[in-house]
Amino acid sequence: MASTTSTAPTCAPTIKEVEKGRNQVDNGSFETGNAPWARSSTNAQISRIVSKSYEGCAAFVFQPSANTGNTMTRSANLTSNSGITPASTHDLTFYLGRKSTASSSSSVAVTAAVRPQAGTAWTQSFTACNLVGANGSVWKKYTANNVKFNSGAPLPLMFTVTWSGATTTDSTDDVLIDGVMVI
């Protein structure tokens, strides 16, 4: 009888640009832990999960933390503290997914922004409402091309998820993010 060995999955980035070292966002696949990502939230939670990822083994999940009505603010911020080269043009790509097969009862908006120390900030909104798939089985790639980063010090990249309308805590309104790249 032949012996078989099973190997554990390798938690390593699988996106080509990350492997080539071209990504200006450190740990954009979240494989090596939380650093250099900072988290903040209002009536929401954000955490790193080792499962349900688009690539590799880890992703971040944004979750509303209370069953709330239409008037309560619910938002979560994920900020990369790795600096993006200023005074240059870059392409941003990332992947959003959902944890539930149920349609969200709320409107979920994801905003990616570069917040410079001074000057005009770049901001673009993306929707996560149309992503419905169990346990991160449905992902969508989002791209912002030719983003001009202002001059000055290297800048952080921030993702904000906001929920409007009633939300639940049964994973219906959870949003996943993975594979963040700035090239």
- What's this model's pTM, rounded to 2 decimal places? 0.79
Distance CA 70, CA 58 (A): 32
CB-hemisphere CA count at 13 Å for 30? 27
SS3 label, residue 111 = strand
Summarised one tens digit per residue, pLDDT across range 29-62 is 888 889 889 998 988 899 998 877 888 888 999 8
In CATH terms, the fold of domain 22-182 is Jelly Rolls (2.60.120)
Q: What is the pLDDT of residue 153?
A: 63
Domain borders along the chain are 22-182
Residue given tokens 């991160």 in the structure block: 136
Identity at 77, one-letter amino acid code:
N
